Homo-oligomer: A and B are copies of this chain.
Amino acid sequence: MEEELLMIPGPVPVLPRIREAMSKPMIFHRGEEFGQLYAEIVEGLKEIFQTRNDLFVLSGSGTCAMEAAVENLAAEGTRVVCVANGKFGERFSEIAAGGGGGKRKREANFDWGSPIELEVVKAALEESPSSAPKVVTLVHNETSTGILNPAREVGRLARKHDAVFVLDCVTSIGGDEVLVDEFGVDIAIVGSQKCLGAPPGLSAVSVSEKAWDLIQENKEEKEKEKKNKKRPYYADLVAYKKSFEKRQTPYTPALPLFFALHEALEVVKEEGLTRRVERHRRLAETVRNAVRGLGLELFPRLNEVSSYSNTVTAVKIPEGKGLVDGDEQIRGGMLERGVRVAGGQGRLKGKIFRIATMGNITEDEVSRTIEALEQVVEEVEKW
């Protein structure tokens, strides 16, 4: 049976050499061999993040890292401005609220698929200056809607208000231009199973001096008041920092995934980051052109500070034209042709489908995907 081609926004297909790296024997996780492996991964990631900040690898998915960022930074009552225009932006709001009714968060919410309007973000930051927001969260590449959000501009607003800027780059780092230091990102997050082309299970976070100051403040405040404030244990970034002095992780690392990530970073290095970003852009452009050529419509609405994602393309499921259940007909039809694309999430279920072009995806794989889409659309139009 031919292998299903995964064109979903993670897990992405993983090259055999990266998968095979996982079949190595286990090593002592507190020894030199691990220390060197970890240090090389961190150095490799810092280059891709384009940052000089501290950086750690967590044995948990991107969501684990998102929670780590918010929970390390925000004490009870800390105002967090969650800028959101999709499922993952809203995930930050959910984490910030702690499920508990919004004591910590303040929203700058936009419809799913709409662009971020900087005026609204500015207003959220300026509102009630008596308790100034200390943290601003944004998702750079919102995979739920296929939009690339204005990281640099929101970063500038955060800096102006002296807030720590948390940027979820889970699906942009390694596939699009992310200049963590230049954008003023205090905590940047990536997931292993997206543009880096590694298997799922790891995430990485970079932490700036400014972020450390707030983390320390949160930590001290909590200890002083002997309060049972939310601070994480497994994802305690202070513990990660301390352990990194010995090139270790505070808790047992998921070794095979570290082996794989190390190899995946070798692949990135061999291609070169600039060429890799160009390839991602070119492939996404190819998909967008093909989609438009078929008379289909891209989902996101853009403004002057946003653009289409270069790692995932969200397409409206058309109505009429003999479509009974467009989602099933399009995605099911493509799957029959061996290509797995993603559906809409949450409130977008049945309304859009999404084609990812992340990681080590090739021109050929994109051609195969487009061909499948063309056949499906043609078939539907015949009915």
Contact = CB atoms under 8 A, between A and B. Distances in A.
Copies per complex of this chain = 2
A351 interface: no
Interface in A204-243: 219, 222-223, 225-236
A201 B23 contact: no
Interface stretch (A58-66, A106-114, A280-288, A366-374): A58-66
Given A200-B29, A223-B100, A22 B256 contact: yes
A173 interface: no
A60 B60 contact: yes
28 contacts: A4-B27, A10-B252, A11-B29, A11-B252, A13-B25, A19-B23, A19-B25, A19-B256, A20-B23, A22-B22, A22-B256, A26-B193, A31-B340, A59-B61, A59-B201, A61-B254, A63-B233, A63-B234, A67-B232, A67-B233, A98-B222, A99-B233, A100-B229, A100-B231, A193-B252, A200-B255, A201-B255, A228-B230
Interface of A: 3-4, 6, 8, 10-14, 16, 19-20, 22-29, 31, 59-64, 67, 76-77, 94-95, 97-104, 191, 193, 199-202, 219, 222-223, 225-236, 251-257, 260, 340
Listed from nearest, the 4 A-B pairs whose CB atoms lie closest are: A201-B254, A101-B226, A22-B22, A19-B23
